[in-house]
Amino acid sequence: MNPQKNIYILAIESSCDDTSAAVLHNNKVLSNVVATQKIHEAYGGVVPELASRAHQQNIVPAVHQALAKANIDKKLVSAIAFTRGPGLLGSLLVGTSFAKSLSIGLEVPLIEVNHMQAHILSHFISDPEMKTPSFPFIALTISGGHTQIVLVRSYFDMEILGETLDDAVGEAYDKSAKILGLPYPGGPLVYKYAQLGNPKAFSFPKPKVKDFNFSFSGLKTSILYFVQRETKNNPEFVKENINDICASIQYTIVGILMDKLEKAVKKTAVNQVAIGGGVSANSAIRAALKERKKTLGWDTYIPKFEYCTDNAAMIGIVGYLKYLEGEFTDQGITAKARYKLTS
Ligand code: KG4
Ligand code: ZN
């Protein structure tokens, strides 16, 4: 791949409940605007129909803001990159249609991007606060929709070593939070309370799942039964023990993730480990990874907070890498709710 000068990518991400637009100059981020949709909080989860309507409202201002913050004229844009999938179909359709129209309007090529590849390739954004892994490396992608351990041989040669068989790790956080009566999205709140609690106060069973796969639905059920049992004896149980409960849930989740990651590193003998996805914003996971750096000699790669949760900058870096390879797509492209990482 020959790096070329002065490629400007305008990127759009709309796979779930964040509308985001970014501008990259080569592999550097000039702007990364994220419009978070608050409307879902009242419903305890993302409502697909409301998400796509909010994307329609947010997408034009987000793109305008991204261009304004980057301080470039839209005539300079070299290509439009957009999230094709996986995600909510109605949400993806908004970004896809908008990207297609923009590519016609600006007379520039269109580049489709797989959201999960983007979480992994976010590590290739050039940023003084981040270091870039070399190939091969192991990626742990943990988000509200996915949990995967991936062997990354090159930018576009990836192999899924294991993934969740049911709930994603973000869902495990969010559903546990819901059981505890916390608002959506509960992941960051569970983390907040966990910081003040004793991780060994309560114990929850770890699932027995083969190979490098995960399962989180059993954990959610055992938390539900535990809370029901305890509140029968003491209706104030959750309120009185919120910190310890959250710390114990988090301890179990991080333990499950790290056990599998250690196995994957052992089996592949690849000890460069990178994390990505919304849940990698969690400092307990970051700390667990750093711990393995010390004790097991791993090289660890942790993206900046704003490149962990859904954002268009990560779509832009994939756009840039595909631009260098001349990998463009035509106007016949459609959004893909189920879009495999390796297809
Ligand atoms: O990658 P992302 O922004 O969207 C998806 O593609 O799903 O991930 C969102 C998920 C949510 O489940 C949210 O609760 C979780 O990431 N999350 C966290 C934290 N910040 C976001 N989970 C635990 N601790 C956090 N600090
Ligand atoms: Zn995501």
Per-residue pLDDT reduced to its tens digit, 104-121: 999 999 999 999 999 999
Instruction: Identify which of 148, 275, 144, 251 has the alpha carbon closest to the alpha carbon of residue 191.
Output: 251
Ligand nearest to the CA of 254: 1
pLDDT at 38 over 90: no
Which sign, positive or negative, has the C-alpha torsion 326, 331, 332, 334?
A: positive
Return the SS3 of 168. Answer: coil
Cβ-contact 84, 339 below 8 angstroms? yes
Please tell me the distance between residue 51's alpha carbon and the centre of ligand 2 in angstroms: 15
Q: How far apart are CA 236 and CA 228, in angstroms?
A: 12
pLDDT for the residue numbered 16: 86
Q: How far apart are CA 226 and CA 70, in angstroms?
A: 50
State residue 35's pLDDT score. Answer: 84
The Cα 45–Cα 23 span in angstroms is 29
What pLDDT sits at residue 41? Answer: 79
139 vs 8, 85, 236, 270, 304, CA distance in Å? 27, 19, 41, 11, 15
Mean predicted lDDT score pLDDT of the chain: 94
What ligand 1 atom has the least distance to the C-alpha of 145? 7
Peptide bond before 128: cis, by omega within 30 degrees of 0?
no
Amino acid (1-letter code) at residue 138? I
| Ligand 1 atom nearest to 119, measured from its CA | 1
Residue 9 has pLDDT above 70, yes or no: yes
Strands 137-142 and 28-36: unpaired
Give the model's pLDDT for residue 298: 97
For residue 282 the two structure tokens come to: 């969690």
Rounded CA-CA distance 192/126 in Å is 30
Please tell me which residue, 45 or 234, carries the higher pLDDT value: 234
Max Cα–Cα distance, the chain, nearest Å: 67
Ligand 1: distance of its center to the CA of 44 in Å?
A: 14
**43 pLDDT higher than 90:** no
- Residues whose beta carbon lies within 6 Å of some atom of ligand 1: 16, 143-145, 170, 173-174, 185, 187-188, 191, 277-279, 281-282, 309-310
Cα(75) to centroid of ligand 1, in Å? 35
Asked if residue 3 has pLDDT above 60, the reply is: no
Tokens of 105: 């309007």
Q: Which domains does the chain have, with CATH numbers?
A: 8-125+307-325 (3.30.420.40), 137-302 (3.30.420.40)
Res. 44 pLDDT band, cuts 50 70 90: confident
Residue nearest atom 14 of ligand 1, based on CA coordinates? 187
Please give the pLDDT value at position 17: 85
Q: Point out the ligand nearest to the CA of residue 169.
A: 1
CB atoms within 10 A of CB 43: 10
Task: Give pTM, 2 decimals.
Answer: 0.94
Ligand number nearest CA of 34 is 1
| Nearest protein Cα to ligand 1, atom 13 | 187
Ligand 1: atom nearest CA of 283 is 26
pLDDT, one tens digit per residue, over 273-315 is 999 998 998 999 999 999 999 999 999 999 999 999 999 999 9
Given this model, what pLDDT does residue 212 score? 96
Residue 40 scores a pLDDT above 90: no
Q: What is the mean predicted confidence (pLDDT) over 176-196?
A: 94
Q: Identify the residue whose tokens are 């896809």.
A: 96
The string of pLDDT tens digits covering residues 205-254 is 999 999 999 999 999 999 999 999 999 999 999 999 999 999 999 999 99
Distance in Å, CA 214 to ligand 1 centroid: 17
Task: Determine the residue of 279, 308, 341 to mutate for testing ligand 1's pocket, defined as the one with the most ligand atoms within 8 A of the Cβ atom.
Answer: 279
pLDDT value of residue 222: 96
pLDDT at 343: 61
Mean pLDDT over 19-36 rounds to 95
Ligand 1 pocket test target in 285, 309, 311, 338 with most atoms within 8 Å of CB: 309
Kindly give the number of the ligand 1 atom that is closest to the alpha carbon of 277: 1
pLDDT of residue 4: 60
Indicate the Cα dihedral angle 293, 299, 303, 309, nearest 10°: -70
pLDDT at 138 over 80: yes
Output the CA–CA distances (angstroms, integers) from residue 262 to 200, 238, 293, 297, 335, in the order listed.
Answer: 21, 33, 11, 12, 35
pLDDT of residue 5: 80
pLDDT of residue 1: 52
In contact, 294 and 252? CB cutoff 8 Å: no
